[in-house]
Chains A and B, each alone.
Chain A
Amino acid sequence: MGLQLSAMMEQKHPTSRKTPAMSIQSVSPDSQVATGRPNRAPMIALPAFGLAMAIMAELGIALFVLQTVAMPLIAVWVGIPMLLGVIPAIRAFANLHRRLAWTVSGVEIPTPYKQPKYPGMIQRLRTWFTDPATWRDYAWVIVNAVVGFTLNLLSAVLFLCSIFYLIYPFLVWVTPPGVFDELFGLVHVNPVTAFAVWPIALGFFLLWLKVGPRLMRANSLLTRSLLGPTESARLALRVQELAETRAETVDTQAAELRRIERDLHDGAQARLAALSMNLGMAETLVDRDPAAAQQLLTEARESAGQALTELRDLVRGIHPPVLADRGLDGAVRALAMACPLKVDVDIDLPGRPPAPVESAAYFAVAEVLANVVKHSAATTAWIQISYENEGLHMIVGDDGIGGAEVSPGGGLHGVQRRLAAFDGTLTVASPGGGPTTVVMELPSALKPTT
């Protein structure tokens, strides 16, 4: 991603004045940066992971035994300190495998554990014991020791066999006679005829290529079935998440309404009151002192103009008319044109998102762009909006000084909270010295344009 970006910036700098403001750049966002997940292991590292996981699977038996022993010992109290040590150890062990499932086969396993409602050791033990995840971990350790061990080891062994047959001629050459020169105990070979086993090496390699990652994936899926949250745990987590975002949405909306009320009260309303006062005075003065009446009328017109300006700004803040007219595409283009920086816009949407999503997306981009103008000292910014995997991807980048972060109370944090109401996310990549990229995602179904 970094390379791609800097290459893109270099491309853009020498643009001449005659280039239209909206040159279309096609940038394919790197999915890793876009999703903020750790890296996947490369294919060639899988045998090493497989071996390590097979060994760990057997070590896990120790944890299983410890928990099995500790539970009856609760009766004589010794079990309690034992469990206080063993259960966190098993959880750490399970968490490691949740991460490994992603690293080796791209299977995501969320952590399902319940949080104790009250502090205290006994509370913690009680939560552990009533949490189905504890018992599922316990079962998984032993399943992993058998099935996980077999699958991972098999995957690694396929690869090792191909290596073995690849270097077989070399082995025949370096070892004394009688060690490796009897192939399958049947055929006698010398270092030259030993090259005949290379097709076997190739066969094992192809087999590993085809089956190796699948074996590990099968194990990862098995791991997910035991270590992932159960349906009810998943729902419980989701409910908690929704309750939090709902509370924030309600807060944000209430704050917005208060702001609008204050703006109307202090702005347009006050100006209209002054206006009608001026008009009233002009009415009484018009015969006696036409010059003074004229002056009041001019003032009245000015305050009407200011009231209109304030109302217009307010309307833009609530729902920009251009968004209603032209959707996200046109509105973001209009935003880029009104921006004091040079902004390249690349939007590719097959339709219009539902109105609330569209509005949230627009304000998120607007806020991030405003941040760029205020803090980044950038000369060029770019906006890319696309629709992938049923979701809206929005990227705002600039060539400024970097160092942007999501800090509580900051602008980006506000955007993050508002996006959360739609299950949206915001991630920032902004090393000191720049460049900065803000990636926002809104999972939403587009409705086709009619």
Chain B
Amino acid sequence: MRIVIAEDHALLRDGLIRLLEANDFEVVEAVDNGPRLVPALVEHQPDVAVVDVRLPPTFTDEGLKAAIEAREKVPGLPILVLSQYVEQLYARELLAGGSAGGLGYLLKDRVSNVAQFVESVRRVAAGGTAMDPEVIAQLLTRSSREEPIQRLTPRESEVLGLMAEGRSNAAIASALFITEKAVSKHTNNIFTKLDLAPSEDDNRRVIAVLTYLSAS
């Protein structure tokens, strides 16, 4: 799987390369600044890109802007954005550009759980979503006063959270130690209670949930 990396800290960049290559990714280019990122993405059109938000020369949200720009030029380019801190504002901006292709927004800390991180990168490459639990937790706190959300059972809320992160039924099942069948029963209940159109497609399901939560 071909991958482009954007990370300005040499130590972290080398770490990421090592980690991803050990998991059968082929790093086609690793850039260390914002201006170089968009051309690299357009040129290589990788299967997935891992991009740090804060990059030179401005050291602000260079990476985020480059990711949004690259997805405008190459629609559906799967990008996983990493950051030292997560902001709902940025998550929304990423999602606002359309959800075609994979999209992810994770805290950098999540890299330390290698298995889960690699799973997230693969999911994004496959056109899925990977939202940081912290973003989802904030969304859930805000929505918790809404009447339809209050009708969910605690178990259903847990499933909703994991679903919003972009996890598949299988992943949710293993995280909660329940069967996949139970998960799909919970998701059906959630969709009925929140009055959302049910969908077999995992990614469309995630987007429906995220849109629902962001609207409140």
Q: How many Å lie between the Cα of A312 and that of B109 in the bound state?
A: 10
Q: How many Å lie between the Cα of A308 and that of B141 in the bound state?
A: 23
Q: How many Å lie between the Cα of A21 and that of B61 in the bound state?
A: 23
Contact B215 A337 (CB under 8 A): no
Nearest CB on A from B92, distance (A): 8
Q: Which residues of A contact B184 (CB under 8 A)?
A: none
- Size class of the B contact interface (CB-based, 8 Å): 20 to 34
Contact B146 A325 (CB under 8 A): no
A360 CB within 8 Å of chain B = no
A309 CB within 8 Å of chain B = yes
Q: Which of A333, A337, A340 has the most CB of B within 10 A?
A: A337
Which one of A17, A19, A324 lies within 8 Å of B60 (CB-CB)? Answer: A324
Contact B215 A18 (CB under 8 A): yes
Contact B141 A340 (CB under 8 A): yes
Contact A334 B87 (CB under 8 A): yes
Q: How many Å lie between the Cα of A450 and that of B21 in the bound state?
A: 41
Contact A21 B89 (CB under 8 A): no
Contact A337 B112 (CB under 8 A): no
- Size class of the A contact interface (CB-based, 8 Å): 20 to 34
Q: Which residues of B contact A326 (CB under 8 A)?
A: 60-61, 89
Q: Which residues of B contact A301 (CB under 8 A)?
A: 112-113
Q: How many Å lie between the Cα of A326 and that of B64 in the bound state?
A: 12
Contact B85 A312 (CB under 8 A): yes
A315 CB within 8 Å of chain B = yes
A338 CB within 8 Å of chain B = yes
A379 CB within 8 Å of chain B = yes
Main SS class of interface, A: helix
A36 CB within 8 Å of chain B = no
A20 CB within 8 Å of chain B = yes
Q: Which of B67-99 contact A (CB under 8 A)?
A: 84-85, 87-90, 92
Q: Which residues of A contact B90 (CB under 8 A)?
A: 322
User: Taking A305-B109, A315-B85, A330-B89 as contacts, is the C-beta distance between A325 and B141 under 8 angstroms?
Assistant: no
Interface string of B125-143 (1 = CB under 8 A from A): 0000000000000100110
A321 CB within 8 Å of chain B = yes
Contact A309 B146 (CB under 8 A): no
B54 CB within 8 Å of chain A = yes
Contact A21 B216 (CB under 8 A): yes
Pairs A-B, 7 closest by C-beta atoms: A325-B60, A337-B88, A334-B89, A325-B61, A308-B109, A334-B87, A340-B141
Could you write out 13 A-B pairs with CB less than 8 Å apart? A17-B215, A19-B215, A21-B142, A305-B112, A309-B109, A322-B89, A326-B61, A330-B89, A333-B89, A334-B88, A337-B89, A337-B142, A340-B144
Seed contacts A21-B216, A326-B60; 19 additional CB < 8 Å A-B pairs: A17-B216, A21-B214, A301-B112, A304-B112, A305-B109, A312-B84, A312-B85, A315-B84, A321-B54, A322-B85, A325-B61, A330-B89, A333-B89, A334-B87, A334-B88, A334-B89, A338-B87, A338-B88, A339-B142
